[in-house]
Amino acid sequence: MREYPPAHVIHEAACEDAPRGLISFRAHLLPVTHPNARAHTCVSPQTVTYDREVVAEPGDEGDHAYEPSDTRPPDATRLLCQHCWGTHGEVDVAEWLR
C-alpha cells in the first residue's frame, strides 16, 4: 500500500513548458512512479516507445478537502480524491524513483 500524490503532469524533458530543475527519468518508469499522472501535449506514444527522458511536474493540490472518487488502484491506501487524484497522505515520490 502506498499514498498517491496529486496527479502529476508528465513532460518530455526537453519540453519548453516543463518546469526547470526537475529530476528526469526514463518513460518506462512512469507506470511505477506516477500511475495517476496526466500527460502534457508534448508526450506522444513515441515518448514511451523510445523510452525518452521525462519529468513530472507536481500537481496543483489546491485548497480542497479530500473527496473520494470511485477509483482505487490496488496499491493505494484509499480511494483517490476526485479533485486531485491523490490520497492526501504523506508521499515520498523520491522513494519510488530508487
Residues binding Zn ion (CB under 5 A):
11, 15, 17, 40, 42, 81, 83-84
Nearest approach in angstroms of CB 75 to Zn ion is 18
Residue with smaller CB distance to Zn ion, 90 or 98: 90
Say if CB 80 and CB 91 are below 8 A apart: no
Residue with smaller CB distance to Zn ion, 29 or 42: 42
Q: What distance in Å separates the CA atoms of residue 79 and residue 54, rounded to the nearest whole number?
A: 27
* All residues at 6 or more sequence positions from 54 whose CB lies less than 8 Å from its CB, including other chains: 10, 11, 12, 13, 24, 25, 26, 27, 30, 43, 47
Nearest approach in angstroms of CB 35 to Zn ion is 16
Residue with smaller CB distance to Zn ion, 29 or 40: 40
Reduced to 3 states (helix: H, G, I; strand: E, B; else coil), residue 11 is strand
Nearest approach in angstroms of CB 97 to Zn ion is 19
Nearest approach in angstroms of CB 40 to Zn ion is 3
Residue with smaller CB distance to Zn ion, 49 or 69: 69
Say if CB 54 and CB 24 are below 8 A apart: yes
